[in-house]
Chain A
Amino acid sequence: MVYDACVEVKLREGIADPQGSTIEKATDNLGFAGITNVRVGKCIRFQVQAGDEEEAKNIVNELCDRFLTNPVIEEAVIEIQVVG
């Protein structure tokens, strides 16, 4: 089976996010009131071949731990869907 994977890499809670705070200030300047808690991450999309969804999740989890995130400052939210 082929699965679509979307990995959202985001900064861990408590890690300062200078990009997020700069964007937040800009929203104020642009007249958008009430925009708070802006955090900037990145989204990495790819396809993965696996026997079933469980196996696909395990592969993507390991990929995140070893490579796609730096666990000192980042964490990943993983979404997996069968291609179809």
Chain B
Amino acid sequence: MNQNIGVVVFPGSNCEKDAMEALADLGATPLLLWHADSDLQGVDAVVIPGGFAHGDYLRPGAIARFSPAMEAIIDFAHNGGPVLGICNGFQVLTEAGLLPGALQKNSGLKFLCKEVELQVESTDSVLTNMTSKGQTLRIPINHFEGNFTCTDETLIELQSQDQIILTYTENPNGSMANIAGICNTTRNVVGLMPHPERACHTLLGSTDGRILLESFIQGAHAAV
């Protein structure tokens, strides 16, 4: 199961090496994709890592969504390719219209950097298919704008179509319905604010991120 996984780098990304390290540790072959390059080099899946793409100017993800790589990723996602957005990557995916809603400033106006407990709400996604419903995972968050917001109609759709995949057991940032991560209706595009790549080794304090990234690598295998 040696899947090639592209990790997209924008000016201002800062979690691409953590993501590559974790993916390689789990047996995948990660490769960096530059945002200005529209060639995805035949990868089996794409990760948009955390950071501050284009300095988060205007809004997080607002400028990144127009990068040539994003146009290719939108096509890739529409063809069923697995796409994972972590933290800033989640913000990019909402701005690009691949996931619904938006990420607002945390309700407490504090930059949050701590380990939180997540609960698996749906196992039917490319990130959670190896987990069990109700399973709890300890994974760090590291964000200022992670407060998931959407219209009431969108929230009803997310709930009725089982698109909320991960929730916070204690809401740290004001997210609607305690949402930590969602997927699209075809379950191949996922976004979450917590950083599973930072919870892949006992030295980091938690290994609970491994099962999520293993699911994703497995999903990349299935999609080929």
Interface residues of A (CB under 8 A from B): 15-16, 18-19, 22, 67-68, 70, 72-73
Residues of A within 8 Å of B105, CB to CB, are: 18-19
B150 within 8 A of A: yes
Tell me which residues from 132 to 148 in chain B have a Cβ below 8 Å from any Cβ of chain A: 147
Residues of B within 8 Å of A16, CB to CB, are: 104, 107, 147, 149, 174
Tell me which residues from 97 to 136 in chain B have a Cβ below 8 Å from any Cβ of chain A: 100-102, 104-109
Smallest Cβ-Cβ distance to B94: which chain A residue: A72
| From A18, A67, A68, contact of B107 by CB (8 A) | A18
B197 within 8 A of A: no
Q: How far is the CA of A72 from the CA of B174 in the complex (A)?
A: 17
B24 within 8 A of A: no
Residues of A within 8 Å of B102, CB to CB, are: 70, 72-73
Residues of B within 8 Å of A70, CB to CB, are: 59, 62, 95, 102
Q: Are A72 and B149 in contact (CB under 8 A)?
A: yes
Residues of A within 8 Å of B149, CB to CB, are: 15-16, 72-73
B58 within 8 A of A: yes
Residues of B within 8 Å of A22, CB to CB, are: 109
Residues of A within 8 Å of B62, CB to CB, are: 67, 70
9 new A-B pairs (CB below 8 Å) besides A18-B147, A68-B58? A15-B149, A16-B147, A67-B66, A70-B62, A70-B95, A70-B102, A72-B149, A73-B104, A73-B149
Residues of B within 8 Å of A18, CB to CB, are: 104-109, 147, 174
Q: Are A19 and B95 in contact (CB under 8 A)?
A: no
Q: Are B109 and A72 in contact (CB under 8 A)?
A: no
| From B66, B106, B150, contact of A72 by CB (8 A) | B150
B151 within 8 A of A: yes
Min CB distance B183 to A, Å, is: 17
| 7 pairs from A and B in contact (CB 8 Å cutoff) | A16-B149, A18-B107, A72-B100, A72-B102, A72-B149, A72-B150, A72-B154
Smallest Cβ-Cβ distance to A42: which chain B residue: B58
Q: How far is the CA of A16 from the CA of B174 in the complex (A)?
A: 10
Smallest Cβ-Cβ distance to B173: which chain A residue: A18
